[in-house]
Amino acid sequence: MWATEFEFAKNNFNGGILAINANKDKALLFYINQEKIEFVDILNEKGEFIDSKYKEEWMRDNSQVLNRMTVEVLSGGKGKPDKLVFKEPAQTGQWWQSADLNTIYINTYFLDYVLVDTIPEQDQIRKARRYKIFKSIDGGETFTQLKSWPPFRQVKQVLFDETGVYGYAIGEQKTLWRTSDAGKTWIQIHMPKQIVDQLNAMKYEFRMDEFFNSYHFDEKTKDFYFSNLFDHQGQYQSVVYKFPWSDDPKDNRIDQYSPILTLPKSDIVDINSEGEKLYVLGMVYDFEKKTYGHVDTETTFLVAAPNEQNKYQWLEKVKIGNALQLSKLYMGQNRVLYSSGFKNSNNYPYQRDIAAVSFDKGRSWQIDEEGNMIQASTFDNKTNKVFILKGGKVSSRELTKFSSLLP
């Protein structure tokens, strides 16, 4: 049962990413905005409608429409009016926030679609693309661009530890950068040869060669985990790497470490950790038939940990369900695990908002219906509450254990 917490984003209908502070009285909404396309009526001398046209000339140019997209952050809460605290021209971006929402990092990517078709391909990265990282240390009231990050250096997401000082920047082409001073300086991390060879081969059949399939930065231990999908003699498998934290600038080679796990015939959706133990969401599907997200696709939960010889091994594997598209795996209190997403269907409605919930650390799962028309959601791992933004209100619910089988 959903209970209203406070009004928020009443005049904003964008879907995005929701963040709630520890006191549950402040919300931030991260989203991608596109300038509205409008039409005006064309009337004849009698005032009768004969046609319509774009209100402004740029609206008919798709390149200019894409160039007017922005990454934005809206702030609000109990007794607080909504306030736009961040706006940057970009077609995509991501963010990271500390638990108290005081420290926020935002990365953005802007491609000049008007310019890109007029210059040689080799010049596009430095002239038509702009990558930026911004930082706030006052809860999003003000943001400062990190000048240490060159605009041509690709970045997909930034991740930090609990202090907001030690972290990584994950880039395209499977690049990785580390900072020990809150983004003032960055050190590039060298990838394993197997990944470099894969990139050089330029295999984009499944669009899985450009980015890591999944990654996780443990905010307590500062260990960085990531998975990569490889084609091994015609069989696809996910390989998991672990990179321990180091403040030594010379310790910047993941290729010094061997992979810790291999998962055949599966794509790893997300990784979480608790000390040395790993919790993994995987999707088993037919790579040859490309049935990713199909109703027959199986979603699994796996647990791995090192043995006495300090070698990781799979300990548990549990089927969560079929036709699920889950995202981030949250770890709550009292053995609760939570992941929201969609359930696919061959019939209308083709997707439904659902959540996979476990009350016994993944040994059994239930599927909860989350409703529809949800703009954004988040899970509070201190209270085991789910928060959603819908219809201008932030609402919450407590997880309830029950048997649920979706048709």
Rounded-to-integer distance, Cα 380 and Cα 99, Å: 10
pLDDT of res. 205:
43
Whether the per-residue pLDDT at 207 is higher than 60: the answer is no
Whether the per-residue pLDDT at 406 is higher than 60: the answer is no
Q: pLDDT tens digits for 47-82?
A: 999 999 999 999 999 999 999 999 999 999 999 999
Whether the per-residue pLDDT at 136 is higher than 50: the answer is yes
User: What percent of the chain has a predicted confidence (pLDDT) above 70?
Assistant: 94
Q: pLDDT tens digits for 218-238?
A: 999 999 999 998 877 777 899
Backbone angles phi, psi at 121, to 5 degrees: -60, -35
Q: What's the average model confidence in pLDDT over 388-392?
A: 96
Q: Which amino acid is at 251?
A: D
Rounded-to-integer distance, Cα 109 and Cα 107, Å: 7
Q: How many Cβ atoms from other residues are within 10 Å of residue 337's Cβ?
A: 24
pLDDT of res. 350:
81
Structure tokens at 57: 């000339």
Mean pLDDT value across the chain: 91
pLDDT of res. 210:
62
Rounded-to-integer distance, Cα 344 and Cα 322, Å: 9
pLDDT of res. 209:
47
Q: How many Cβ atoms from other residues are within 10 Å of residue 354's Cβ?
A: 23
Place of tokens 């070698």: 311
Residues 6+ apart with CB under 8 A from 311: 260
pLDDT of res. 236:
85
Place of tokens 């999707």: 283
Whether the per-residue pLDDT at 3 is higher than 90: the answer is yes
Q: How many Cβ atoms from other residues are within 10 Å of residue 232's Cβ?
A: 11
Instruction: Decide if 88 contacts 134 (C-beta within 8 A).
Output: yes
Whether the per-residue pLDDT at 290 is higher than 70: the answer is no
Rounded-to-integer distance, Cα 44 and Cα 46, Å: 5
Rounded-to-integer distance, Cα 376 and Cα 218, Å: 24
- Beta strands in 34-181, from DSSP E residues, in sequence order: 39-43, 49-54, 70-77, 80-89, 92-97, 104-111, 129-136, 144-145, 157-160, 167-170, 176-179
Place of tokens 């402004």: 56
Helix (H, G, I), strand (E, B) or coil at 253: strand
- Sign of dihedral through CA atoms 189, 195, 199, 200? positive
Per-residue confidence band for 279, with pLDDT thresholds at 50, 70 and 90: very high
User: What percent of the chain has a predicted confidence (pLDDT) above 90?
Assistant: 77
Residues 6+ apart with CB under 8 A from 235: 264, 265
DSSP β-bridge partners for residue 394: 6, 389
Whether the per-residue pLDDT at 250 is higher than 50: the answer is yes
Q: How many Cβ atoms from other residues are within 10 Å of residue 51's Cβ?
A: 9
pLDDT of res. 292:
57
Q: How far apart are the first and last CA of the chain?
A: 21
Beta-strand pair 39-43/26-33: unpaired
Query: Minimal CA–CA distance to 241: which of 266, 219, 205, 213?
Result: 213
Query: Minimal CA–CA distance to 26: which of 88, 99, 87, 94?
Result: 99
Per-residue confidence band for 312, with pLDDT thresholds at 50, 70 and 90: very high
Place of tokens 């530890």: 161
Whether the per-residue pLDDT at 295 is higher than 70: the answer is no
Whether the per-residue pLDDT at 407 is higher than 50: the answer is no
Whether the per-residue pLDDT at 203 is higher than 60: the answer is no
Rounded-to-integer distance, Cα 270 and Cα 227, Å: 9
Q: What's the average model confidence in pLDDT over 257-264?
A: 93
pLDDT of res. 304:
98
With b meaning 16 or more CB within 10 Å and e meaning fewer, what string describes 248-280?
eeeebebeeeebbbebeebbbbbbbbeeeebbb
pLDDT of res. 297:
85
Cα→Cα distances 219→223, 227, 329, Å? 8, 18, 15
Helix (H, G, I), strand (E, B) or coil at 103: coil
Structure tokens at 143: 């943001």
Q: Which amino acid is at 188?
A: Q
Q: pLDDT tens digits for 327-384?
A: 999 999 999 999 999 998 888 878 899 999 999 999 999 999 998 889 999 999 999 9
